[in-house]
Amino acid sequence: RVSRHPPRLISRPVIIALSVCFPPFNRPIMRISFFQGGYSGNVDDNMKLMESYVAQAASQNSQLIVFCELFTTGYNVGDLLVKYAEPCDGATYQRVSQIAKQNRIAILYGYAEMFDSQLYNSAMLVDSEGHPLVNYRKTHLYGPYERKYFKPGDSFPPPIVTVSDIKIGLCICWDIEMVEPARILALQGAQLIVAISANTSPFVTEITVRSRAFENQCFLCYVNKIGIENNLDFCGGSCLVASNGDFLAQARGRASTNDGPDIAFELVTADIDMHRIDYTATRNSNPFFQDRRPELYTIYHHHSK
């Protein structure tokens, strides 16, 4: 792995408690962890990382841990994407399934999927019993590199699934920078959108994801790659954003103007409380969904600029 400074291992997860008092027992709360880091072009080492950090997240009582886009292989690794591609139920899934079951925690990870001789940029969500909940294929590919290697998924939105009583929708990188995917997921009932990414732009981590959370009145967990991989410099800045647009938790590695520290491995853990009074107040004062005029929008569905 290439970086400006020797990588530092963060051995203690960052724990951020967001509830100021004990909530009612029926209030939907999720403890979520996200991991920022990984190795380039080494599936086995990345799976060892996953195993270690899943155990740490589970020890903090997290119900879900999230890993970045193409976590198992690396992103800017060229033909290694093809070499290490697997079916959705392949050896990597089998290993993740066991890790999830052993630690009683749901796991979301990005990987290169091979299906019918086509390569997809995919995200797999496995539940705490090791069963697959959803396998999503990235529908919006970014730039010539992705179009060279991947076929776009042709189904959106992916099914909304429930983890720890929270309804979750999935996006991958460029998907979340489009306006429509997040809105569609929210209209389908998603309370938390999880977007895994391999992004070089701090603007997305600092502005875009906050806007998507606020305008769709849902929580958004954005998990990005960090560090230099074959001349692409990924900016990190993984975060959890509340439905009012506030940052609830952020990785300390880089992002802000792209000049933060190069922290190679970082686990962040935080609580999502769906019904905190300030979140409810923001939703009530910004009734986006109530005031929409969808009957006026249909003419633009197939418009291209």
Query: Hey, which residues are catalytic here?
Result: 69, 138, 173
Q: How many CB atoms lie within 10 A of CB 17?
A: 9
As a whole number of angstroms, the distance between CA 63 and CA 45 comes to 24
Q: Report residue 19: phi and psi, to 5°.
A: -90, 130
Report which secondary-structure segment, H or E, holds 210.
helix 209-216
Spatial strand order in the sheet of 266-273: 14-16, 266-273, 29-36, 64-66, 106-115, 118-126, 132-137
State the CB neighbour count (10 A cutoff) for residue 275.
12
Q: Which two tokens stand for residue 204?
A: 């997305």
Q: What angle do CA 101, 83, 131 make, to 5 degrees?
A: 20
Instruction: State how far the Cα of 299 lies from the Cα of 250, in Å rounded to an integer.
Output: 39
H-run or E-run covering 301: none
The identity of residue 292, as a single letter, is R
CB of 221 within 8 A of CB of 240?
Answer: yes
Q: Which residues of 238-254 are buried (b: 16+ CB within 10 A; e: fewer)?
A: bbbbbbbbebbbbbbbb
Two structure tokens written together for 183: 């809105």
